[in-house]
């Protein structure tokens, strides 16, 4: 009997052509923000609990069988939507220096909407990844709530790069009122605020982390929602998590100084991070530890071109298990959240060198609340 899905993504499946700075080109690679997010979740949901991940597959008339074969190996809950008059969504990724990526659609995207989800999924889903513009994020969440006003679904929003513009900042802040977690990358958060990241970097003495922290503080203040979790993905530097009470850096799994040969292709790493974060949030309800889950998910995605491989029994890329990687990252990251009553000094540093208090501390509950208790 299939389990009711508790994790999903409102992000598309895209068949990618990838162009690299050295002139290499790889075609017909399974990808898309939704697919990579689903893989990021699946890493933390071994079979048979993998069926607690649900995904909508939008299929055009040219949809290849080998893509279905890859998805079916995940043993997740799938709903297929057929579009005999449309191409399957196809995209072109062009990579430049410092992991910069340009993307364009080869064929128009077939979007997933809230209306594609069954009534039972709307009721059962607990954490949903959304990758979209602010306008569409608002639309998706409103449609979701209209279908089930009692829904306890929480949303992790990954803003689309092209929509991270200063003229959209007000709408971005509006979208944040309906979500639990927002996760732009370092370039996107700077663009939202009207800056170019490289220009800001030079203004901060080329201190990368200080520059990201500056942007995080600015955006967090503008959102004006005390319960929001701001998670800024920062490539090889890891990610920074900001809540109303904490700002903490979480490292990337692969150390670019000593293990750069492990990073083959960063396509989808940010999406997988978001998927892993969603799974971590479901399991722990801890905003910082969830980022460690995200970092582990991303670590599998960067090891090859395309999605990571899964072989029996639940081995990813023929490497260490997700829990082994998580344990290693935990020792690297030093410490997780601690209870700090009435911490109000924004300059206070904690036992971890990556953490500082920014206001009243947001503490995860030990039992993670009733809606997560069945996991």
Q: What is the pLDDT of residue 259?
A: 67
Q: CA 112, 113, 116: angle at the middle one, nearest 5?
A: 85
- Alpha-carbon gap, residue 131 to 126, rounded angstroms: 17
Q: What is the structure's pLDDT at 164?
A: 98
Peptide bond into 48 cis (omega under 30): yes
Tell me 115's DSSP state: G
pLDDT of residue 265: 86
Q: What is the mean pLDDT of residues 123-141?
A: 98
Give 131's strand partners. 158
Residue 107, pLDDT score: 86
Binning pLDDT at 50, 70 and 90, where does residue 334 land? low
Class of domain 9-372: alpha beta
| Confidence at 342, pLDDT banded by 50, 70, 90 | very low
pLDDT tens-digit readout, 19-38: 888 889 988 899 999 999 99
DSSP helix/strand/coil, 246 = strand
Cα distances (angstroms) measured from residue 40 to each of 47, 53, 74, 89, 212: 14, 11, 12, 21, 24
The answer to whether the CB of 25 falls within 8 A of the CB of 19 is: yes
**Which residues lie closer than 8 Å to 255 by C-beta, 6 or more apart?**
none
Structural domain spans, the chain: 9-372
Q: Retrieve residue 36's tokens.
A: 């990579």
pLDDT tens-place string over residues 74-88: 999 999 999 999 999
Q: What is the mean pLDDT of residues 143-162?
A: 96
Per-residue DSSP letters for 326-349?
A: HHHHHHHH-------TT---TT-B
The secondary element (H helix, E strand) that includes residue 276 is: helix 269-284
- Residue 364 CA: distances (Å) to CA of 79, 281, 369: 34, 10, 9
Per-residue pLDDT averaged across 210-216, rounded?
97
Nearest to 186 by CA among 155, 214, 228: 214
Q: What pLDDT is recorded for position 135?
A: 98
Nearest by Cα to 329 from 309, 365, 299, 287: 299
* Residue 295: pLDDT over 60: yes
Per-residue pLDDT tens digits for 238-264: 999 999 988 999 999 997 656 668 899
The pair of structure tokens assigned to 373 is 């208790």
> DSSP per residue over 65-112, as a string?
HHHHHHHHTT--EEEEEEETTSPPPEEEEEE-GGG-EEEEESS-----
* pTM of this prediction exceeds 0.85: yes
Which residues are CB-neighbours of 129 under 8 A, at least 6 positions away? 8, 9, 10, 11, 34, 37, 41, 155, 156, 158, 271, 274, 275, 278
């Amino acid at each position: 009997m299939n389990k009711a899905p508790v994790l999903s993504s409102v992000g598309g499946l895209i068949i990618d052509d990838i162009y690299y700075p050295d002139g290499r080109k790889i075609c017909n690679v399974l990808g898309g923000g939704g697919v990579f997010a689903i893989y990021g979740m699946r890493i933390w949901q071994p079979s048979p609990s993998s069926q607690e991940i649900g995904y909508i597959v939008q299929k055009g008339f040219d949809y290849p069988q080998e893509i279905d074969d890859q998805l079916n190996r995940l043993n997740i809950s799938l709903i297929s939507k057929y579009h005999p008059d449309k191409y399957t969504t196809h995209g072109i990724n062009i990579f430049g220096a410092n992991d910069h990526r340009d993307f364009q659609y080869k064929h128009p995207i077939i979007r997933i909407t809230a209306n594609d989800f069954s009534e039972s999924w709307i009721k059962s889903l607990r954490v949903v990844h959304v990758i979209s513009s602010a306008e569409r994020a608002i639309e998706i969440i409103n449609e979701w709530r209209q279908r089930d006003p009692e829904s306890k679904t929480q949303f992790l929003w990954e803003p689309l790069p092209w929509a991270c513009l200063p003229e959209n900042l007000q709408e971005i802040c509006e979208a944040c009122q309906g979500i639990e977690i927002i996760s732009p990358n370092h370039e996107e958060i700077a663009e939202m605020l009207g800056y170019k990241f490289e220009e800001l970097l030079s203004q901060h003495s080329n201190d990368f982390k200080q520059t990201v922290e500056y942007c995080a503080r600015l955006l967090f203040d503008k959102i004006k929602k005390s319960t929001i979790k701001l998670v800024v993905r920062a490539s090889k530097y890891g990610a920074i998590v900001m809540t109303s009470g904490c700002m903490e850096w979480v490292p990337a799994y692969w150390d670019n100084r000593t293990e750069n040969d492990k990073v083959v292709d960063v396509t989808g790493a940010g999406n997988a991070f978001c998927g892993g974060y969603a799974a971590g949030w479901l399991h722990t309800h801890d905003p910082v530890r969830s980022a460690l889950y995200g970092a582990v998910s991303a670590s599998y995605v960067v090891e090859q071109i395309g999605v990571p491989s899964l072989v029996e029994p639940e081995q990813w890329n023929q490497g260490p298990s997700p829990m082994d990687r998580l344990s290693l990252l935990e020792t690297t990251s030093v410490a997780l959240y601690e209870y700090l009553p009435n911490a109000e000094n924004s300059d206070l540093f904690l036992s971890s060198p990556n953490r500082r208090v920014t206001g009243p501390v947001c503490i995860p509950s030990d039992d993670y609340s009733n809606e997560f208790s069945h996991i």
